[in-house]
Structure 1
Amino acid sequence: MTQSLGYGLIGTGFMGKCHALAYRSATAVFGDVAAPRMEILCDTPEEKAGRFATQFGFQRATSDWRAVIDDPAVDIVSITTPNGMHKEMALAALAAGKHVHLEKPMALTLQDAREMAEAAARAPGRTMVGYNYLHNPAIAHARKLIEEGAIGRPIHFRGLVDEDYQADPDLPWTWRARRADAGLGALGDLGCHLVSLAVLLLGPVASVIAEMQTVHETRKLADSDERRPVENEDVASALLTFESGVNGLFSCSRSAWGRKSRIGLEIHGTKGMITYEQERMNELRLYRNDGTGATQGFTTILTGPAHPPYGEFVPAPGHQLGFNDLKVIEVRSFLKAIADGTLTFPSFADAFHYEAVIHAIAQAAESGARVRPEAA
């Protein structure tokens, strides 16, 4: 086993905790990567940083994010802060020679994401962007089925991602409604996940036609009756054309009542189809056009040890993996790639295409024209 690497975390919200748990668990689950040294955690105020450092098992705490990057004991930096802070922190960490594990989206603008991808290409450190749905064994099996021709030649894609965290019109205005702080809305929060899965299964996107909608155009501040504008989209829809020639439908919404973490996928082929629902993330449904009409139907594939790396977590089907387990798989792949000197996935270069697609959707919606995503 390779030498242990020092680990620093910036941000202790939902994804910060998810990262901390994953870096502490990867060695115990897989056994083929060295356990990172939990060196230093950053958040504000200092008291909060100290409290979470103790809870997450870090040796030290700070309220200065540059102290994490400048620390010679730190080799890997996780950045799980609000979107507007990503670029400055990631560029500083890359310049300091660190490996960077960044939560999505990469940046507020596509130009910022391009600068980050270009910096990563020059830097000695490796990069990983937190698209942990890509690491689901069910998704890996779907890709294997497509590559093996189980559904014939892919001909059509349908995908949607919905949540209801902005469905209530009485929710107060937050930084997520402001372009300068959040960038895109539903596209940046949710749509990029759907794009990442579509690209993994069917390859790069060549062009898009799109529409966007802001459902709740203003929201009240939490502590007053003042209303502020919502500057980004609640809903986006698009027609996709993949470089392979496959066409598809794309939809994302943060105002879909009843949906908590829905990512629905359908891949239609000349001999069958595959369907997947994130809210039932341990299942895959496969239809093959064989047999007689009396026997044809969907097969539900329940993930288990036959779908690696499920078996590293639990030895029996039906016990099921969760969201945090996918982050453990992601972290293990990052640590292993660093140790073996192999490519990471998804790197800043991979994630740039996902962000180029969501920004192309936004541009197409604003212009009414077909738009090609910018190349790296």
Structure 2
Amino acid sequence: MEIIRAQRLQKLPPYLFKEIDRLRDEVRSQGVDIIDLGVGDPDQPTPANVIKRLNEAAADPSTHKYPAYSGMNRFRASAAAWYKRRFDVDLVPEKEVITLIGSKEGLAHFPLAFVNPGDVVLVPSPAYPVYNSSTIMAGGVPVEMPLTKDNGFLPDLAAIDPATAKAAKIMVVNYPNNPTAAVADADFYQRLVEFALANSIIVVSDAAYTEMAFDGYKPLSFMQTPGAMEVGIEFHSLSKTYNMTGWRLGFAVGNAELVGGLGQVKSQIDSGAFDAVQIAGIEALEGDQSSLDDMRALYTKRRDVLVEGLQGLGLEVEKPKATFYVWCATPKGMKSADFTKRLLSECGIVTTPGNGFGAPGESYVRFALTVDKTRMAEALERMKKLEL
């Protein structure tokens, strides 16, 4: 019997990080000592107080039952209180906050609630691949918004074709940005609200990296913007903030209709996040926050070692204000994939080719700050033999 996968799957490109893992493992099998600066997975442990609280909650039989679809009331209230403390945004937990099994899950499911077959979704490029793939899975048509250095890696709203803007159902933005590490200011967010209102577009803001910032910089939330609650929903994750990538816990906040639509989809697809994990999440949001300062200090040191080292090799790169990524231009005339392959085959260094995030990412490579300073310095030493 011939088994044919659905057309929606046939339209999807190979998942970028899965292919990177395959190439890494192939080189490692040859006995090469790999320094992995590819996938952005924190190398630091989850804070001890969060682990302790999980152990206590997991031992409580009351957490072993099916959780509430939209999340524990206590966790949603904790997320709302965190948004108030951090961004001075007022939220009604019961209507404007929903628990997620990681923000990726929420971002992937959101288009199913609002995108009909043929609807246009404006997606940034280069970008986290889920925005594009989730649009395709929902039957929508992704239309790229190029992010270029000349525009600070922000979407050029004025360059969007008016007919496309009117046809668009959703626009996705992500700041601080993966992969470019760019940040958005209040002026951009205000213009985005005005653009969304003028064209009846839902704004999806992926804010997974707001707490991973350097040199005293404090990234904004889109939801701080006047009018944002009318048009938007914002996704936040505990993965990067509290080194909880494997725990799969996040939340979305915003317009009650948008949050409710996502909740309706989730009620048909999953059974919610494990209550014990949500209880641990409350501890993360409300407990000792010193781990965040430690995290920022650690990544600041790594960032400085890497950026200064790359600049010393003659590469064009700027110090990011936020995220744990460094967006580095390739040597002149060299394609992203070619530079990535040379780094892996000749230096044993895993990076991510910029064009894997979308065509406008060509001639860039993304480095993740996920190894210690010593290994970072070793990677730079290995790169010297490339004679860039």
TM-score, L = length of structure 2: 0.31
More helix by share: 2
More strand by share: 1
Higher RCO (Cα < 8 Å, 6 or more apart) = 2
